[in-house]
C-alpha cells in the first residue's frame, strides 16, 4: 500500500496542482496497486512515518505566508522524512517553502530549510511554457512565479530548454535532493508528464522494497503522445 499525503490543498492549489495527486493515484489504481490519499488541513497533525509520497502545491505570496507559520511546527518531522528518503513533490510556492526563505519586498517568508536554497522576489514575473531536460526525459510544464530561486550546490531537476526555470539566468530548473523533487512546473506537472509520475512512484516503492525493479507497463500511448506533441510544438516554435 502506498500512502500519498496532500499538504494544505485549500491554500496551495494553483493551476490545477491537484491533478498531480489524481495522476499518482490513478497510475497505481490502473495497475491494481493499493493506494490511499490523505489530505491535510493546516492544523491537522501529519503522521510522516505513515507516508510514502508527500505533495505540496503552489500558492500565492499571501497563501505562502499563511502556511509558513505552521511549517515552523512541522520542520523537524519534515526534515526527518526527507532524510529517510521520503518522496516529496513540491511545486512552485511549495518548492520555495522547502528552502530557507522567500524574501518579498517588505517581508520574509521562512521556509522549512530542508533544501539549502533561497528565493527572492524579482520583476517581471517569469511566466510561460517550459521544457526541461531531466534524468526522467524531457519534461513539459508551465511556470508563473515572481520568486527567483538560487540552489547553490544542489543538483537541479534539469536543464531549461524552453522557459525561465529557477531564476531566469542560470538555465537550471528545480532541485532533486534524495527523493525530493522541487520544481516551478505547474501544468499540472504529472498528468503532462506521466513518465515522471512513474519515476516518483518507483522511488516510493523502492524505499520500502529495495528489490523492487519496475512498474508494470500501462497502456498510456495517448498521455505520452500529448506530452511529446506539446514538447515538440514548443521546441519548434
**Grid coordinates belonging to 102:** 522567500
Q: Is position 93 an interface residue for ligand GLN (rule: CB under 6 A)? A: yes
Q: Is 109 strand, coil or helix? A: strand
Q: Of residues 36, 61, 170, 220, which one binds ligand GLN by CB under 6 A?
A: 61
Of 3-11, 143-151, 164-172, 220-228: span binding ligand GLN (CB under 6 A): 143-151
Q: Least separation, in Å, of the C-beta of 202 and ligand GLN? A: 26
State phi, psi for 97 to the nearest 5 degrees: -75, -10
Q: Is 104 strand, coil or helix? A: coil
Q: Of residues 11, 53, 56, 58, which one binds ligand GLN by CB under 6 A?
A: 58
Q: Which residues contact 69 (CB under 8 A, 6 or more apart)?
A: none
Q: Least separation, in Å, of the C-beta of 93 and ligand GLN? A: 3
Q: Least separation, in Å, of the C-beta of 137 and ligand GLN? A: 24
**How many CB atoms are closer than 10 A to CB 13?**
17
Report the residue number, 147 or 188, with the smaller CB distance to ligand GLN.
Answer: 147
Of 75-83, 127-135, 145-153, 203-211: span binding ligand GLN (CB under 6 A): 145-153
Query: Angle of helix 194-208 relative to helix 221-235, nearest 10 degrees?
Result: 120
How far is C-alpha 122 from the geometric centre of its chain's CA atoms? 21
Applying the rule CB under 6 A, the residues between 72 and 91 that interact with ligand GLN are: none
β-strand pairing of 172-173 with 180-183 = unpaired
Binding interface with ligand GLN (CB under 6 A): 14, 58-61, 64, 92-93, 144-147
Amino acid at each position: 500500500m502506498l500512502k500519498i499525503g496532500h499538504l494544505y490543498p485549500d491554500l496551495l492549489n494553483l493551476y490545477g496542482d491537484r491533478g498531480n495527486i489524481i495522476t499518482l493515484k490513478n497510475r497505481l489504481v490502473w495497475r491494481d496497486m493499493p493506494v490511499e490519499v490523505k489530505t491535510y488541513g493546516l492544523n491537522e497533525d501529519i503522521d510522516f512515518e505513515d507516508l510514502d509520497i508527500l505533495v505540496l502545491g503552489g500558492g500565492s505570496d499571501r497563501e505562502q505566508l499563511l502556511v509558513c507559520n505552521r511549517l515552523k511546527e512541522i520542520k523537524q518531522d519534515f526534515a526527518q522524512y526527507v532524510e529517510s528518503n521520503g518522496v516529496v513533490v513540491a511545486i512552485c510556492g511549495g518548492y520555495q517553502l522547502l528552502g530557507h526563505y522567500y524574501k518579498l519586498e517588505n517581508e520574509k517568508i521562512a521556509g522549512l530549510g530542508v533544501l539549502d536554497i533561497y528565493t527572492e522576489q524579482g520583476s517581471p514575473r517569469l511566466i510561460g511554457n517550459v521544457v526541461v531536460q531531466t534524468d526522467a526525459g524531457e519534461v513539459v510544464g508551465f511556470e508563473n512565479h515572481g520568486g527567483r530561486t538560487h540552489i547553490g550546490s544542489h543538483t537541479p531537476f534539469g536543464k531549461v530548454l524552453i522557459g525561465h526555470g529557477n531564476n531566469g539566468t542560470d538555465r537550471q530548473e528545480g532541485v532533486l535532493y534524495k527523493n525530493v523533487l522541487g520544481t516551478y512546473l505547474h501544468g499540472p506537472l504529472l498528468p503532462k508528464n506521466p513518465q515522471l509520475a512513474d519515476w516518483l512512484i518507483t522511488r516510493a516503492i523502492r524505499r520500502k522494497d529495495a528489490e523492487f525493479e519496475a512498474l508494470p507497463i500501462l497502456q498510456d500511448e495517448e498521455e505520452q503522445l500529448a506530452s511529446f506533441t506539446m514538447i515538440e510544438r514548443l521546441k519548434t516554435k
